[in-house]
Amino acid sequence: MGSDFQRVEILEVDKAASVVVLQITEIHPDADAIHRLLGKPGEEYAPRALAAPLTKTAIPRAKAFYARNFAAQLLADHGKSGFLAAVERDEDEDAPDPNAFISRVVVRELNPLDKATNDSWLYRATLAITLVRPDLAHGFAVGKRYDSRAFPTADWEI
């Protein structure tokens, strides 16, 4: 098993609406990013949260920043794109701010795959990512697949 956390496939690109839709499949047993994003804040690892897979797809308001951070990492791992070019132009001494590039992340679909090593769950999820400008969607092509190493609470580094 490699060190990648997710397999990513681009399902839709709507440049006019500034939306990129990704299917994320968690492939590393320690990388429970979707569980962390969708779990109730502070209760992600409570026994009742681990007993069965999550079914609600709403990202808690308290985790909206982490959802944008996660999405930014997923998009940056794609490689050459309008998104990555804008991030590289904007980068300063600190980590890039995902809020400057992504306005919204919505989970459209959620399917449990298996238990993670910490007894949470791994998922396949479809994420609709709304970018702040249409030019950021340039370079993303439907059907493209790649691996990612994204994590909601990790620093976003380019």
Residue-wise pLDDT tens digits, 34-79: 999 999 899 989 998 899 999 999 999 999 999 999 999 999 999 9
CA 91 to chain centre: 20
* pLDDT tens digits in sequence order for the chain, 158 residues long: 457 899 999 999 999 999 999 999 999 998 899 999 999 899 989 998 899 999 999 999 999 999 999 999 999 999 999 999 999 887 665 778 999 999 999 999 999 999 999 999 999 999 999 999 999 999 999 999 999 999 998 887 76
Helices marked H in 78-154 — which ranges? 82-90
> Scanning the structure block, which residue is given the tokens 């998922």?
123
Cβ neighbours of 102 (radius 10 Å): 23
Q: What is the pTM of this model?
A: 0.94
